[in-house]
Chains A and B, each alone.
Chain A
C-alpha cells in the first residue's frame, strides 16, 4: 500500500525528515508515536503534497506509484486522505457544498459518475448517522465555529464519505473526550478491510485501545527509530520518549 524509502524533507531549507523509512501493507493499521516536533505532521504533509515542504531525497510509493510528482488533488483521487491535526476554517463555504464537491471530485478522478445534491446528501447523512455526527454541522461553514471535538468529527466524516485506501490521522484524538474518541475509532474501524490501510499519528496510547494497530513506530528527529507490535505503545506510555531524544 505505502512504501516510503529514505525520505528527506526540508522546510525553509531546514531538514525535518532525515531518512525516514516506512512500509504499510494493504489491510494494516500502523501507528506513529513520537515527541512534539519530531516531524509527524511534516510526514503527513509531505505525503499529501502541501506546498513549502521540499523532498530532497527518497521516494514515496503509494499502491506502487510514485506520488511525489502528483498534485494534492491527484493524491486524494488515488485514495490518500489526511485528517488534519488542525482542520482549517473556511468561512463562506457551507460544509454540505464542501463535502459534495470533494466527493464528486474524487468520484470523477476514479471514473465514477457524479452524484447530485440529493444523492450526495443522502450518503453524507448515512455516514453521519453511523458516526453520531449532528446534522447541525452540515449547515455551517466548513469548521467555522466548530469546537475542537466537532472539527475532529468533521475530519472523520470527510474520511468516511471519501472512502480512502489509506487514511492518515494526525493526532485526531488530541483533546477529545471519550465519546468523541470512540467516534474517531469507529470511523477508522469501519474502513478497515483487506484493501485498506491507516496510519494513526498519536501521542497517546489511549486511542490505540480502540484502534488496535498492527505495528507501532517511534518517530524521533525525523526518523523511525524503533518499530514493534501494539505492545510498544504501552511501553511508551510508561517510559515516555526520553529514551529516544538522542536516538537520532
Chain B
C-alpha cells in the first residue's frame, strides 16, 4: 500500500463512504432474504453502523496500522447475476481423491464448478443465498449472532450487503473424514467488483471437520473481497480451519472471523497469506466453555508494496482454556506487515494458558513490521507469554552456505524456507499443495 497523501490523513470527520451506502439503498429490495423482517432489521442496523463509522482508518485503535481510506477512491461495482467462465480451478487438494469442493466466484456460489461428494448423515452444506431463499428459519438462530460488536465497520458492511457464502452444519457426533475445500475466486471482467461473502459454520457437540479456504484471483484486476465467518464449535467438537490467501496482487482482502468455543471445543486454524495488495485477517475467538482450546497460526510472504494485517483477539472466558498462536512472515521490498495480538484472560478463567509469538524476517531495509502484542490478565492462576521478533537473514549462515558453493539466491531461499518451515509444515501435513 503506498503511503497516503498527508491531506487524507488529517481529515477529521469520518467520510460517509457514500458508494457502499448508496449501493445498499439501491439493492435493498433485491438482496436475498429481503422479505425476512429479522434479516432486514439486521441489515438496516448494520448499514447505519457502517455509515456512522465509515471505512476504518488508523484513528480506530483496532486499525492502528491499516487504513481502508484508499478504497474510497476506487469505484467498486456490486456483483449482480453474471456467470464468469473459469478455465482452471485453483484447487489445493490432490486430484482424483474425491472430496468436497465448493466454489464461489465473486462471492456467488457456483454449483456448476462445485463437487459435493457423499457426506455422512448429519452434515448439511448449503449456499447462504439458497438457504435465505428456501429455508431461512434455520439461519435465524446463528446468522449475525456471533459477529456482533461495536466498531466493526467492515463486518457491518458485510452484514448489510451479504448475498452468499458457505453454510455448514455438522450434526452431533459426526466426523467428516474428508476436508471440505472452499474456493473463493475473484474476477474482474471489466470494472472492479466488491463482494461480501458470509460464512456460517456450526459444529454440534462431539463432531469434527476440516475446512480449507482457498482465495485466489483470475489475474484480471482488482476487487474487494470483504468476507465474514461466524463459527460455533459446540462441546467437545473440533474444527480444523485452514486458509490460503493468494488473492490477486491488485485485490483487497478483508476477512473477519468470529469464533465461539464451548466446553472442551477445539479450533485449530492456519492462515497462509501471500496475495492481495492489502489484506487484513481479523480473528476473534471467545472461549466460553471450560477446557476449550484454540490454535491460531499463520505465515505470510509479502513483497512489492503489499500490506498484510493480522489482528487477533483471544478471550479466555472460562477455566482451563488454552491458546497457542504463532505467526511468522517474510517481508521484502517495501511491504509491510502488521501483527496485533490481544489475549484477554477473564477473572473466571483460572488455570488457563495463552502463548503468542510473532516472528518476522525482513529482507529489505524498507520492509516493515508493526507488532503490537497485548496481554490483559484478570485471573491470578494463569500462564501467559508473548514475544515478537524481527530481523534480517543470518549473515553468518548465509556465508556458511555460500562458502560451500551454494549460490547466494539459493542460500537465501534455503534460509527463508527454514524460517517458515515449522508453520508451513502444518499445511504440508494436510496433504495440500499451495501453488
- On A, residues with C-beta under 8 Å from B are 48-51, 71-73, 75-77, 81-82, 84, 87-93, 97-98, 101-102, 105-106, 109, 141-142, 158, 162
Contact = CB atoms under 8 A, between A and B. Distances in A.
B399 A101 contact: no
A90 to B, nearest CB: 5
B238 to A, nearest CB: 29
Interface string B395-435: 11101111111111011001101110110000000000000
A50 B398 CA distance: 10
A106 B410 CA distance: 13
Contact of A162 (B399, B405, B407): B405
A180 to B, nearest CB: 20
Nearest to A97: B414
A51 B394 CA distance: 13
A48 B402 CA distance: 9
A78 to B, nearest CB: 9
Contacts of A73: 402-403, 405-408, 411
Contacts of B421: 92
A84 B407 CA distance: 19
B401 to A, nearest CB: 7
Given A91-B418, A92-B417, A93-B414, A51 B405 contact: no
Contact of A76 (B405, B414, B415): B405
Given A73-B402, A90-B415, 20 more contacts: A71-B402, A72-B399, A73-B406, A81-B403, A88-B397, A88-B400, A89-B397, A90-B394, A90-B400, A90-B401, A90-B418, A91-B418, A92-B415, A92-B417, A93-B418, A98-B404, A105-B410, A141-B418, A162-B404, A162-B405
Interface residues of B, number: 23
A92 B330 CA distance: 15
10 contacts: A49-B403, A51-B395, A73-B402, A84-B400, A87-B400, A88-B394, A90-B397, A93-B418, A101-B414, A109-B405
A71 B398 CA distance: 12
A85 B396 CA distance: 13
B221 to A, nearest CB: 37
A92 B418 contact: yes
| Interface core residue of B395, B407, B415 (most chain A CB under 10 Å) | B407
B407 A105 contact: yes
Most A-side CB within 10 Å, residue of B397, B401, B403, B422: B403
9 residue pairs, one from A and one from B, having the closest CB atoms: A92-B418, A76-B405, A102-B404, A106-B405, A88-B400, A72-B402, A105-B405, A92-B421, A93-B418
Contacts of A81: 403
Given A90-B400, A92-B419, A97-B414, A71 B408 contact: yes
A245 B249 CA distance: 63
Contacts of B414: 93, 97-98, 101
A91 B414 CA distance: 11
Contacts of B399: 50-51, 72, 88
A35 to B, nearest CB: 24
A230 to B, nearest CB: 29
Interface string B111-143: 000000000000000000000000000000000
A196 B396 CA distance: 28
Scoring A73, A75, A109 by chain B CB atoms within 10 A of each residue's CB, the highest score goes to A73
Given A88-B396, A88-B397, A102 B405 contact: yes
A68 to B, nearest CB: 15
Nearest to A44: B403
A198 to B, nearest CB: 16
Contacts of A50: 399, 403
Contacts of B418: 90-93, 141
A105 B413 CA distance: 14
Nearest to A88: B400
A234 B415 CA distance: 44
Contacts of A89: 397
Interface in B354-406: 394-397, 399-406
Contacts of B419: 92
B324 to A, nearest CB: 19
Contacts of B404: 76, 98, 101-102, 105-106, 158, 162
A60 to B, nearest CB: 15
A93 B405 contact: no
A158 B404 CA distance: 8
Nearest to B419: A92
Contacts of A141: 418
